[in-house]
Structure 1
Amino acid sequence: MSLSGTSPLSSSREQQLVAFWAPFLLLHLGCPDNISAYALEDNKLSLRQAVDVVCQVLGVMYVLYQYIYLGYNTGDLLPASILMFVVGAAKYIERAFALWRGDLGNIRGSSTEDEQQRSRQRVDSLTVRRRVLDNEQALLLAHGLFDFCRRAMVDDSSVQDEDHADSQAATSERIFSLEWSSMCKVVEMELSLMYDVLYTKATVIHTWGGYLIRLLSPVASATAASLFWSLEKDCFMTIDIIIT
């Protein structure tokens, strides 16, 4: 629709309804929260992929402007389209940012001094009183040690100060002091956390922006649905209404 300039559809109102589907393309491209990549190569957000994101968002903006904003008698379809465009663009850009955060090259050396200090404080605050851990204790320990394990998994040796070496020694001592099954349980959870970083949106979900998107998306979708149902639909085809 953005490239042809004209449409074989019979009426302008039908063009507007098809244009209303464009923001849902961005929602589809944004992927679910538990999937951002299918292989490590997907996380290498190349210049071509970045251009794809920009072109898709601009293409949807043009379609909405051409067929809905400039269309006659838009009614409630314009605000509903704007709401879904904002949600779709946010989810799509969020996925691109998750791919960038999941790139091994960006993970390597990405820990700041403040993050390293907080990780050391978390480790120091975790006191393992028993050599056998239940799932909750193992998960807490895995989160506390994740910064160290993440850098080890990506072979990051950018920090070589004495405090860091002491922290690594304390971390190793803490892990190897566990009973064998508990040690394996912690390692499994570390691998699970690393999987979330590489193949899901975990790194961007647990941020203020991620929380805001998930708070406003259902509200925006429900509002858009209400606006659509309040729209006069006599000139639309029944199958298009059902799909919408």
Structure 2
Amino acid sequence: MDRAIYTAMGAANAALNRQSVTSNNLANATTPGFRAQLSAFRAVPVEGPSVATRTLVTESTPYHDDSMGAINQTGRSLDVALPQNGWLAVMMPDGSEGYTRAGNIEVDSEGLLTVRGRPVMGDGGAINVPPQSELTIAPDGTITARGPGDEPSTLAQVGRLKMVNAKIQDLEHGDDGLFHISPGSANAGQNVLAADLNLQLIPGALESSNVSPVNAMVEMIATARGFDMNMKTITTVDDNEKKANQLLSLS
């Protein structure tokens, strides 16, 4: 079989992977704090008895766009927007931590603060709040509660959000939608990152996804056309091989 088929097949497979990443980004265009994943591919020359210009496509190290999304004021007391390189720590089932920029905090049936079903970490572990209390989050992450019927001046501190400072290149995106410590970072081998007490968040606001729906749609169309072009190349080469075989059989 002609080596051009393998070359085009590698490009078509890369287009499929790129389309998968783009569609996932587009599906999360309205997810708070979402970081767009970027596709990276490189050409690898084919060594051996072939034309020196032949190359195959392989995936390079995937990474994410670390640009900030728009900050939208929601007025909800449990919504927070994080600064650049700031992350909220959440508890994983094995006791380690995951990190997210989603600031839409909820209170579950047991009084735990959660983000996407994961307990939010505080100074000493998960944060538990009094039932039916009115919560307020300060810019430094301090959480205060006021019980039903209490005076406005009666506030009790119930914890402080654990915020960590990490570049997105030092984290890897997991299948659970959270970021984890990358094996290639300086903090590799650790279960948790240290809290950064100097980080300041924006209460009553959410950071939107940094995905541009328009750019994502354009990329999807371009990737689909590239895939079709490679599939036509495979079909053309295959037809040429069949015709060549017919000529050889006649001779």
Shared fold, TM over 0.5:
no
Structure number with greater CO (CA < 8 Å, separation at least 6) is 1
Structure with the largest fraction of strand: 2
> TM-score of the superposition, structure 2-length normalised?
0.30
Larger Rg belongs to: 2
